[in-house]
Structure 1
Amino acid sequence: MSETFDVIVVGSGAAGMTAALRARDLGLQVLVVEKAHKYGGTSATSGGVAWIPNHGLGGSTDTREETLTYLDAVIKEPVNRERLEAYVDTGREMLGWLGGEGINMISMPWPDYFAELPGSRTDRSLVMPPWDGRQLGDKFPLVREQYPRFKLFNRYSMNLEETFTIAARAPGWKKKVATVIGRYWKDRSTRKMTKRDRLYVSGAALIGPLLARLDHKGVKIRLETKLETLITTGDKITGVTVSHLGRIYDIEARHAVVLCAGGFEWNQELRDRFYPVRTSIWWTSTPQGANTGDALIAAEKIGAATEHTAEGWWAPTMILPNRSASNFEEVHQAVFDVGRPYSVCVNRNGDRFVNEACSYDRFGAAMASDQLATGANTPCWLVFDAVFRQKFTAGGILPSAIMSDRSIPMDWWDHYIFKADSVAELARKIDLDPAKLEDVTRRMTEYAAKGEDPEFGRGSTIYDKTFGDPTCQPNPALGAICKAPFYAVQIHLGDLGTKGGLKADHKARVVDGSGNPIPGLYAAGNATGSPFGLNYPGAGGTIGPAMVFGYIAANDIASRATNRDVASAREPVAT
């Protein structure tokens, strides 16, 4: 091998960058290889939220005991207890180290996803403040962007607080719109270079400063460099074979390879192998073709075990044509839309199957369970009235104030979005029993008047109410479905990635089928099985563990290395 590094990290998302930065900070020479032509992985295109309990930020009173009480109530299947507790115990330490690097996350007042269970709180989800991407210099345009649909008018960056305020038409939303647009156009120097907003928000606001610190410390990140195989010497992982622009070559790792290359949601063969219900790669909302299970495939070939592969990080999605070429389709998230008031979700038998206002992962799990029970889900239907249409998005269908019915392309109607003057007529269009759908909407209207849903308890938790309509009383999650015209869109069992992957221990070491660590092989992020098993405790349940176990992996690798040069990591290194 012509090149040698102490540590090779595969993947440049939050897990990979955290592992690489920590390893460099501990005096190791690090190389990051990234398959895509941009930095940041799925993390950069995500909300950038990290669920890290017991963090101690902002005066939080959360404790280890309270966290474990909550997780014990949430998690139903067996998980590695030592790994789970390592995550709970290390998050605060990792955040302190990040703070020393000038990367300071802040707590958001968002309820845990199982808000009804003991130990739940509203301060465990952390985000990064907006960050000026131009600090990256020539790397500014090379960080993955959010999808246009996550921006105001497909162009302007919004932080999460601005997004939720505008989407819910909360008090002051018009001022927020003016602020977002004005901020963009006042930035004349960036407008001369690119249409991209210089303000990094959400996932990019996390990736940007991590990349800046890696660049400052001389860590090499090679784009368009794909993992092909893992190299072994005896029973130890000693390097990787990668491909770059058609060239295949080997790189040696003195101490370890850390797999942080995401999950397998873009690999139909692996989805069919692991999932109990049929799902499609075209329903996922992660970057197209990115996470194809490369790390899992390479590691399985040398004997690595897998776990928790039966589910994805579910997120309901819908499909719409590309506006510029309608024979091409795009996936749109509908994670909060399915639970807004003035709407109901039914399967293809016309039956409700879930509290629609629950978290998106619980909604997806209910879709999968109903599909197994009835065969009449995946997809299901989101049915709503004119009030919903005026106030809220329905996947890629924006509120009527922004996207009027007249502006919707004619070839979308009765193919992607359905409309009728009565519920019965709408039911006939989408092949449901008219009497049944009329009965469902009538019941929902009665529940809205009383403020209680006796079937599924919609609007009974703080989480349900948080993403409802505060002007809708007595229950912000329940609204009458009675104002014509009526609409329907199909909802698919989409995801934010995969929950399962390589089996790793409490030190982020990948293990074999007998549970023994494979020397020199570590993993973090969606390349591994979640420490929560098949459960999603709160917003950021993917990125939180990804970062923590990236940090833990680097610590363990450094503890075993004998050639660390910590002094060199404190100053920039020539690249």
Structure 2
Amino acid sequence: MTAQVQTQSAYDVIVVGSGAGAMTSAVFLADQGFSVLIVEKSDKYGGTSAISGGGIWIPNNHYFARKGGNDTVDQALTYLKAAAGDHVDEARLRAYLDNAPKMIETLTRTSRVRYAVAEKYPDYYPHLPGALPGGRTLDPELFDTSLLGEELDNLRKPSPSTLLMGRIAWTARHAHKAMARGFGWQLLILRLMLRYKLDFKWRRKSKYDRRAALGSSLVASLRRSLMDRNVPLWLNTDFSGLVSEQGRVTGVTVVRDGREMTLKARHGVILGSGGFEQNQALREQYLPQPTRMDWSATPPGNNTGAALQAGLAQGAATALMDWAWWAPTIAVPGEEKPRGIFAERAFPGAIVVNSLGKRFINEAAPYLEFVDAMYRDNEVTGGKSVPAWVIFDGHFRHNYAMGPLMPAQVMPDSRLRKEWLNTLYWKADTLAELAQMIGVDAAGLENTVTDVNDYARTGIDPDFGRGGNVFDRYYGDSNVKPNPCLAPLRKGPYYAMRMDAGDIGTKGGLLTNADAQVVREDGQPIAGLYAIGNCSASVMGTSYPGAGGTLGPAMTFAYVAANHLASQR
């Protein structure tokens, strides 16, 4: 397009979006001498990254190697090719595997970002060749948010589900130990609570922990790193299009303070503004049906596909448009977005059924595969699996969490919000009564529970193999025998919660090459235009190889894009 308004400013590179990938690219660009501007649509920075787990999937990383871990690029490539199949060009896979370890080693050496290896967090497909039982996922260390000063007010707040008691920071390693009830888990929780309670000075300022963890830690440490480099970040700046001259992208148009501005980018534009999951029209155009943007666990009003539409206007190719980073969600009355249900599905004593009362997948399966199975079963059953229902008994309710319901031993039903009953959860003395309340076939549910109770006794799930691999068992209760993911449903009252076909972002987007350049249908790059993160077609194809399979590539191709821009000067 041709600019119609007067150019207001010029930078070497303009980055659209303020998630982990976008901010990582700005850090690397600034360190190579580029002047950089980040523009962010929202009044908060951090995007979906800030409410995520913050993990990054980095095969052959130096943290794992230092602890004696054994991984190689070839082994990881074997695994990725088995997972992604023919959906991704091998050159992109190799670019990711070659650059991911370099990215994190450089970033942690030169910035405020700090990670530790999650040694016990397995790859999501342990049955595939090249998979590892742990070591490829990195977990952010805690970050002191007082270092942000006034910028702390602009940080997107983490989801309550990522905080202990809704306000205390803990790492994924802490959460795993507590949820799996590993040795010393009660002492760990007590220590975290005491650390929070005894921070009297910070308590007078905020009800939230001084420390950030997970995605909040990653984003906060990146923002502090940008502050160290004096990189400007404009909030409330809505990206509206790309400017191009003679086939090269040379800038962007934005709306700021109610007026349109054209910003010149001397060397290029990096799009890192998320996917299109918050655009209902685009969901209906591309994603499986039924689909609703209010099932998504991402921030409402953001990730509306602006980068996708701008790239298409420049002739960009796309891929994987019918896929998302699926994750089942539960809507909580009064909260701005639903909560993703990740670990809880592996806890023993809860099952998920369709409206026929039948299971349709191993409940502990990776979240992408779980929602994919919802859609597949929905098609086979004629619309009986979207939504699905998670069912559990009084024993489960006493001992385990499910979404916003903390274990009854710390949050009994009498302390739950009254408006949650029959909106967030349903409760009955018998399975038959519960089935009638939620519109599920009672006989089907009774038969399913009878079968699962038998499976819990033997420890073998012949239908779906629940608890039969190292990934399933990661969040299972290590004290439950013979299968940490299976327990009978026998003790009333019985509970149900609605589970929607949600997501943590879309997977399809602008197609890029091994240098993170956006390409046209003929494979030729659009000069000056790069895309990273969820506005680009995922390098993982239709798979989700491990925890951090979204942010790891976003940050890696941020590093790749910065290096490619530097090579073109």
Q: Calculate the TM-score normalised by the size of structure 2.
A: 0.95
Q: Is the 8 A contact 1:320 1:416 kept in 2?
A: yes
1:61 maps to 70
> What code does the residue aligned with 2:16 have?
V
Q: Tell me the alpha carbon deviations over residues 363-421 of structure 1, each in whole angstroms, 9 at most, x when there is no partner.
A: 11111211222221110011111111112222222211232122234443334312222
> What code does the residue aligned with 2:213 have?
V
Partner of 2:331, secondary structure, is strand
Among 469, 474, 499, the alignment partner of 2:477 is: 469
Question: Post-superposition shift, 1:168?
Answer: 4.1
Q: Is the 8 A contact 2:64 2:135 kept in 1?
A: no
2:28 is equivalent to residue 22 of structure 1 = yes
1:275 maps to 287
1:107 maps to 117
Q: Tell me the alpha carbon deviations over residues 42-83 of structure 1, each in whole angstroms, 9 at most, x when there is no partner.
A: 111111000011223232321011101111221234212111
2:91 is equivalent to residue 85 of structure 1 = no
Among 550, 553, 566, the alignment partner of 1:558 is: 566
> What code does the residue aligned with 1:499 have?
K
2:352 is equivalent to residue 345 of structure 1 = yes
* C-alpha distance in structure 1 between counterparts of 2:527 and 2:488, whole Å: 60
Among 5, 9, 20, the alignment partner of 1:3 is: 9
* C-alpha distance in structure 1 between counterparts of 2:455 and 2:198, whole Å: 48
1:190 maps to 202
Rate the CA distance shift 1:196–1:105 in 2: closer, same or farther, 3 A: same
Q: Is the 8 A contact 2:355 2:441 kept in 1?
A: no
Q: Is the 8 A contact 1:333 1:396 kept in 2?
A: no
* C-alpha distance in structure 2 between counterparts of 1:463 and 1:439, whole Å: 27
2:259 is equivalent to residue 250 of structure 1 = no
Matches of residues 421-436 of structure 1 in structure 2 within 5 Å?
421-436=429-444
> What code does the residue aligned with 2:218 have?
L
1:460 maps to 468
1:259 maps to 271
> What value does the CA root-mean-square deviation take over the aligned residues?
1.6
Q: Tell me the alpha carbon deviations over residues 213-263 of structure 1, each in whole angstroms, 9 at most, x when there is no partner.
A: 211112111111110110111111110111112121111000100000011
2:536 maps to 528
* C-alpha distance in structure 2 between counterparts of 1:166 and 1:135, whole Å: 29
Work out the percentage of aligned pairs sharing the same amino acid.
Answer: 40
Partner of 1:231, secondary structure, is strand
Q: Is the 8 A contact 2:161 2:403 kept in 1?
A: no
1:223 maps to 235
* C-alpha distance in structure 1 between counterparts of 2:417 and 2:202, whole Å: 33
Q: Which moved more, 1:420-429 or 1:511-520?
A: 420-429
Matches of residues 156-175 of structure 1 in structure 2 within 5 Å?
156-175=168-187
Among 500, 503, 507, the alignment partner of 1:492 is: 500
Q: Which moved more, 1:313-322 or 1:520-529?
A: 313-322
2:322 maps to 310
Rate the CA distance shift 1:507–1:154 in 2: closer, same or farther, 3 A: same
* C-alpha distance in structure 1 between counterparts of 2:197 and 2:443, whole Å: 52
Unpaired segments ≥5 residues, structure 1: 323-327, 562-575
Q: Is the 8 A contact 2:87 2:541 kept in 1?
A: yes
> What code does the residue aligned with 1:125 have?
T
Partner of 1:4, secondary structure, is strand
Q: Is the 8 A contact 2:354 2:440 kept in 1?
A: no
Q: Calculate the TM-score normalised by the size of structure 1.
A: 0.94
Q: Which moved more, 1:536-545 or 1:129-138?
A: 129-138
| Count of residue pairs brought into register by the alignment | 556
Unpaired segments ≥5 residues, structure 2: 1-6
* C-alpha distance in structure 2 between counterparts of 1:70 and 1:452, whole Å: 27
Question: Post-superposition shift, 1:187?
Answer: 2.2
> What code does the residue aligned with 2:43 have?
H
* C-alpha distance in structure 2 between counterparts of 1:84 and 1:506, whole Å: 8
Q: Which moved more, 1:392-401 or 1:310-319?
A: 392-401
Partner of 1:3, secondary structure, is strand
Rate the CA distance shift 1:104–1:330 in 2: closer, same or farther, 3 A: closer
2:417 is equivalent to residue 372 of structure 1 = no
Among 116, 119, 127, the alignment partner of 2:127 is: 116
Question: Post-superposition shift, 1:330?
Answer: 4.6
* C-alpha distance in structure 1 between counterparts of 2:279 and 2:345, whole Å: 27
> What code does the residue aligned with 1:119 have?
G
Partner of 2:338, secondary structure, is strand
* C-alpha distance in structure 1 between counterparts of 2:433 and 2:447, whole Å: 14
Q: Is the 8 A contact 2:123 2:131 kept in 1?
A: yes
1:297 maps to 309
* C-alpha distance in structure 2 between counterparts of 1:465 and 1:148, whole Å: 25
Q: Tell me the alpha carbon deviations over residues 320-356 of structure 1, each in whole angstroms, 9 at most, x when there is no partner.
A: 212xxxxx77512222222321121111122211011
Among 14, 31, 42, the alignment partner of 1:36 is: 42
> What code does the residue aligned with 1:467 have?
Y
Partner of 2:332, secondary structure, is strand
Matches of residues 394-433 of structure 1 in structure 2 within 5 Å?
394-433=402-441
Q: Is the 8 A contact 1:504 1:511 kept in 2?
A: yes
Rate the CA distance shift 1:513–1:170 in 2: closer, same or farther, 3 A: same
2:367 is equivalent to residue 356 of structure 1 = no
1:479 maps to 487
Rate the CA distance shift 1:188–1:409 in 2: closer, same or farther, 3 A: closer
Give structure 1 regions of 4+ aligned residues with deviation exceeding 4 angstroms.
Answer: none
* C-alpha distance in structure 1 between counterparts of 2:117 and 2:152, whole Å: 26
Rate the CA distance shift 1:431–1:2 in 2: closer, same or farther, 3 A: closer
Matches of residues 330-341 of structure 1 in structure 2 within 5 Å?
330-341=337-348
Q: Is the 8 A contact 1:169 1:391 kept in 2?
A: no
2:139 is equivalent to residue 132 of structure 1 = no
* C-alpha distance in structure 2 between counterparts of 1:299 and 1:270, whole Å: 15
Among 65, 71, 79, the alignment partner of 2:80 is: 71
* C-alpha distance in structure 1 between counterparts of 2:61 and 2:295, whole Å: 34
Q: Which moved more, 1:525-534 or 1:34-43?
A: 34-43
* C-alpha distance in structure 1 between counterparts of 2:241 and 2:336, whole Å: 33
